[in-house]
Structure 1
Amino acid sequence: MNSSDTTATAELGLRLVVPERAAVPLAARVKYSSNDPYAIRIAFHTGEEDPVEWIFARELLTVGIVRPVGEGDVRVWPSKDENGERNVSIALSSPFGQAEFDTQVSPLAEFLHRTYEIVPAGQEAQFVDLDDEIQQHLHS
């Protein structure tokens, strides 16, 4: 895992869950920045030239380690693999299709822990420059 004072990144090993088939291993790069303190970006490396990127609420991934959370496009819940090891499952849905992934709890929890060292829970608003955000939206 790489990290600086304001960002954290990590590579996660995922498995794409395919009904009635063996799971397909994938890699994903997770990134957190204090510039966007509520969000975690996950780039799924699917074998295509450009990874598929989704943005998740940090709290969604954190809560999803211990109990089911989310509705609609993104759902996260605790699960176990075929060996009984603790995992986290992530289901994504978009107009282009649906996918379900699982990953081991430990690397995800370690990454999330690092994000909370950068921006503690409840202090996210202190890292948002509201005036800058408004200016960006007015000029886009």
Structure 2
Amino acid sequence: MSTVIEQAVQARLVASTPRTETVSATLRYDREDPFAVRMAFPARATLEGVEVSWEFSRELLVTGVEEPAGVGDVRVRPFGYDRTVVEFHAPEGVAMVHVRTSEVRRFLRRAQHLVPAGCEHQFLDLDQDLTELLRDAC
């Protein structure tokens, strides 16, 4: 069984101008990092002209499809019929994208099948993490 889930989603970038742009984004979940999800955007969708990936908690995404969630760099909330808004806050400004809630729910179901919520700790390699943490301490 694969330990990584990747799902392409269509994300609508919301800008201050009337025009919105649709770009492909990728949601990613890795069983080796069971508490986190990643959302990556292609270079053409970023100010820097390079692919950008944001990492945030799976729980934030789960909560955000039902009700507003998050107070930090990433915030998620439902919007209208079958839309979820994901806001990314950075020093350069705020990027806001709309994603179909049905696509987010599908991704979350797949992640839940791979690592059930509440069982994430069973997939952590604490010995390896501690070894890496202490490697430079000596």
The question of a shared fold, defined as TM-score above 0.5 by the shorter chain, is answered with: yes
Which of residues 84, 100, 106 is equivalent to 1:88? 84
**RMSD value, Cα:** 1.5
Is it true that 1:34 corresponds to 2:31 in the alignment? yes
Taking only the aligned residue pairs, the percentage that are identical comes to 35
Q: Which moved more, 1:40-49 or 1:126-135?
A: 40-49
**Cα displacement (A) at 1:37:** 0.3
Q: How many residues align?
A: 133
Q: CA deviation at 1:50?
A: 3.2
The alignment status of 1:65 with 2:65, answered yes or no, reads: yes
Q: TM-score, normalised by structure 1?
A: 0.88
List 4+ stretches of structure 1 deviating above 3 A. none
What stretches of structure 1 of length at least 5 have no aligned partner? none
| SS across alignment from 1:66 | coil
Aligned residue for 1:105? 101
* 1:39-81 Cα shifts (integer Å, max 9, x gaps): 111111141663101001001011100000000211100002x
Task: Return 40-49 or 25-34, whichever deviates more.
Answer: 40-49
1:132 matched to 2:134? The reply is no
Aligned equivalents of 1:26 and 1:36: distance in 2? 26
Question: How far did 1:22 drift?
Answer: 1.6
Structure 2: gaps spanning 5 or more residues: none
> So what's the TM-score if we normalise by structure 2?
0.89
In 2, Cα distance between the equivalents of 1:19 and 1:137?
43
How far apart are the structure 1 equivalents of 2:51 and 2:135?
28
In the alignment, the residues of structure 2 paired with residue 96 and residue 104 of structure 1 have an alpha-carbon distance, to the nearest angstrom, of 26
Shift of 1:26: 1.2
2:16 to 2, 19, 28: 19
1:120 equivalent to 2:116? Answer yes
Q: CA deviation at 1:119?
A: 0.3
> CA shift at 1:90, angstroms?
0.7
Q: Which residue identity lines up with residue 8 of structure 1 in the other structure?
A: I
TM-superposed deviation, 1:5: 3.4
How far the C-alpha of 1:135 sits from its partner, in A, is: 1.4
